[in-house]
């Protein structure tokens, strides 16, 4: 069991990595993003993950970005550095670096080219990464839609607890609510199971979730905090209304290009994080204008304002 006794709760944003017009890191934007998260009720930043395009960055860039995030979040937000990589050597180097700079936690997605063939093999892979940062909580990033690795987390977690001394839990980015609930119950509060599907957060709350990591918390945390507040107060009608607002705007940006359109929303709220990197493609200026009009039509910009 995790000897660090570190737990993540509340909303954890998965930041977009800011790039400039030429595709280089734009570190100057990171403090602005951190201040925005604090102002909108976010408790942490999960950096260099899927939303952060970590797999499209070099190790050097990931380390530089992590250092900038540590400086910007220190004393304000929990910092979780994603260190997943198809190379165990590189992943261990990223994990050791994250511990050196004082991150509260590290996380790693499963390798997606050569994949673990069993739950035990996946635990061994994770243990190899976690041991490079033994004093820092380790989270396994479960996202089968991207990796193709889809073992039941209710089977993974008990093995991870036994074999990874600093096991902190799971970032569960999957629609299998049954497995989410079972993995959460099996841990009896000894590790975290952080939910990662923003559009169905309310379902996870009903199953006992106390923490969540998501890309839309970058700009829509006030909506989700209202979901949580309404759920905790027993006002399910209000919780469903707020969750529906999330579903509506997610449907909008998915219609305009997914990740690239999602990143454009940051520009529309005044926090331009620049372009996406190849192989992702930018949306056109016409698409951006049309998406903005659609977001205005559903009252998005009013809904995401902090109270």
Residues known to be catalytic: 141, 171
Q: What is the DSSP string of the chain?
A: --TT-----EEEE-PPPPB-TTS-B-TTHHHHHHHHHHHTT--EEEESSTTTTGGGS-HHHHHHHHHHHHHHHTTTSEEEEE---SSHHHHHHHHHHHHHTT-SEEEEEPPSSS--SSHHHHHHHHHHHHTTSTTSEEEEEE-HHHH-----HHHHHHHHHHH-TTEEEEEE-SS-HHHHHHHHHHHTTSSEEEE--GGGHHHHHHTT--EEEESTHHHHHHHHHHHHHHHHHT-HHHHHHHHHHHHHHHHHHHHTTTHHHHHHHHHHTT----PPPTTS-PPPHHHHHHHHHHHHHTTHHHHTS--
Tell me if 213 is assigned to a ligand binding site. yes
136 is in an annotated binding site: no
Retrieve residue 78's tokens.
């929990």
CA distances from 248 to 43, 47, 84, 114, 279 (A): 24, 26, 31, 37, 27
Annotated binding residues for pyruvate: 51, 213
Q: Which residues are annotated as a binding site?
A: 51, 213
């Amino acid at each position: 069991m995790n000897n660090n006794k570190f737990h993540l709760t509340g909303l954890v944003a998965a930041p977009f990595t800011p790039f400039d017009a030429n595709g280089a890191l734009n570190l100057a934007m990171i403090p602005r993003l951190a201040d925005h998260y604090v102002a909108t009720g976010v408790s942490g930043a999960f950096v260099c993950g899927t939303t952060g395009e970590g797999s499209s960055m070099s190790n050097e860039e990931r380390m530089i970005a992590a250092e900038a995030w540590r400086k910007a979040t220190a004393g304000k937000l929990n910092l979780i550095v994603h260190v997943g990589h198809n190379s165990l050597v590189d992943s261990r180097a990223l994990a050791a670096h994250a511990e050196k700079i004082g991150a509260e936690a590290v996380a790693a997605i499963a390798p997606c080219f050569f994949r673990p063939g069993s739950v035990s093999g996946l635990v061994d892979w994770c243990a190899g990464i976690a041991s490079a940062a033994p004093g820092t909580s380790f989270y396994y990033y479960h996202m089968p839609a991207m990796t193709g690795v889809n073992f039941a987390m209710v089977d993974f977690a008990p093995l991870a607890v036994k074999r990874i001394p600093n096991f902190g839990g799971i970032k569960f980015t999957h629609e299998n609510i049954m497995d989410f609930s079972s993995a959460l119950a099996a841990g009896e509060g000894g590790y975290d199971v952080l939910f990662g599907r923003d559009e169905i957060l309310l379902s996870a709350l009903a199953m006992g979730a106390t923490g969540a990591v998501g890309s839309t918390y970058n700009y829509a945390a006030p909506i989700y905090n209202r979901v949580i507040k309404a759920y905790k107060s027993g006002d399910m009608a209000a919780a469903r209304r707020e969750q529906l607002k999330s579903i509506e705007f997610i449907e909008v940006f998915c219609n305009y290009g997914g990740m690239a359109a999602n990143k454009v929303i940051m520009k529309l709220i005044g926090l331009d994080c620049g372009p996406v990197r190849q192989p992702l493609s930018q949306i056109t200026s016409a698409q951006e204008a049309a998406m903005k009009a659609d977001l205005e039509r559903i009252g998005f910009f009013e809904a995401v304002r902090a109270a």
